[in-house]
Amino acid sequence: MVRTILVLGAGKSTSYLLDYFLKKANEENIHLKIGDLRPENIPDEFSRHSNCTVFTLDIFNEADRKKAVSEASIVVSMLPASLHINVAHDCIEFNKHLITASYISNELKALDDKVKEKGLVFMNEIGLDPGIDHMSAMEVIDRIRDAGGKMLLFESFTGGLVAPESDTNLWHYKFTWNPRNVVLAGQGGAAKFIQEGTYKYIPYQKLFRRTEFMDVEGYGTFEAYANRDSLKYREAYGLQDALTLFRGTMRRVGFSKAWQMFVVLGMTDDSYSIENSEGMSYREFVNLFLPYSPTDSVELKMRHYLKIDQDDIMWGKLLDLNIFDDSKKIPLKNASPAQMLQYILEDSWTLKEDEKDMIVMYHKFGYELNGEKKQIDANMVVIGENRRYTAMSKTVGLPVAIATLKILNGEITTPGVQIPISKEVYEPILSELRTQGIEFKEYQVPYLGYNPDSVAS
């Protein structure tokens, strides 16, 4: 009997996901159904494939959505996170397992008892970050604990970046995922984490000036700024007693200092609209945030305001974005500063057809074993193929695809609304990811955490 995998939403992160299913279609006896609001954007090779059906689906059309879910053997939602909840209710109604790459919302978590009663697996956070970060972290943490070790420190960093061979701008950055999330990164409250047993907080206006540095063999030095809530997974990972717990976002060195210019100017603000935004030039947009002067140019006012010289690399980075161009126009109505900045950045930071992106993930595990403090550093680098087959789509899509088949085939059975932190889940998925070139290199390094015995009283 043919089994049907329903994929809802076919955006940028689904190229490897869909390919994986179709490559496995005959041996796994599966038919792929892809429901999307704009199916015309889905490449022809999927719609023409004998094991695939592409159809128009408006997720807000309850009757059509329920029909699609009821006819499926298992459901994969690649929709925006806020839309998973409607699909989740349908999956409970029709007894279908559900897989998403998104963070678990409170609304979804509240369905846990119903999902368990039905014996269903609702696997979430099974992409890259969240996803591969959970699984790779728990693999090492469980290994340390199984050997009798006690966790003292855990730090984790992920970056969606441009590959070295496609690095063509002074920011050493191009968009590899949702640009809006990049522009709004760090907003919504202070970043919080634990460092050597002390709670630490970094307000948004200082976030990009507090960075940590790390080297990745063969790829150079990176920096990382703190994620908003590093304590979110303390209980899930069993790290309640860890002295240091920190999660961050990786960039090339110098990006954060330059990004701080936009924060200082107020260009990342998404809380209000600019009435005459439509048709405004890049230069006019910049001038909105600078003091009035009857004589000084926009460039001069910008340098004075930011206290940067004409030969400063920061100035070069601003020029690199063409933000003083009076001929380039922003076509957005009643847009916020953040939306207008995003438009300008996409003009410069969009990958060309043959350009490649890069995913970098870096973990630090500090622990005590037999009275001795030790540390393991682990990193993973994945390079994309081109603008369609990106490292981002590979590292998000493949874990989702592998988990889907493992659940469909009864290899992952523990019911409930969950994330991939149990051995039942992470062992087989990480094993298969290694065959796809997604693997970590581990290094035993000196423990860098605070040691009270080494400090003079």
* Half-sphere exposure at residue 366, Cβ-oriented, CA atoms within 13 angstroms: 20
Q: Which CATH class is domain 3-124?
A: alpha beta
Query: Which pLDDT score is estimated for 39?
Result: 84
Nearest to 230 by CA among 207, 213, 252: 207
What dihedral do alpha carbons 443, 445, 451, 454 form, nearest 10°?
170
The widest CA-to-CA distance across the chain, in whole angstroms, is 77
Q: What is the Cα Rg of the chain in Å?
A: 24
Task: Determine the pLDDT at residue 84.
Answer: 95
User: Which pair of tokens denotes residue 232?
Assistant: 């979110």
What does the pLDDT read at residue 453? 40
DSSP 362: E
Check residue 351 and report its DSSP letter. Answer: P
Cβ 159 vs Cβ 360: under 8 Å: yes
Report which secondary-structure segment, H or E, holds 139.
helix 132-146
Tell me if residue 390 falls in helix, strand or coil. coil
Q: What is the pLDDT of residue 435?
A: 96
| pTM assigned to the model | 0.92
- Residue 309 is classified by DSSP as -
For the chain, give every domain's residue range: 3-124, 273-335
The segments of the chain whose pLDDT lies below 70 read 449-457
pLDDT at position 450 is 53
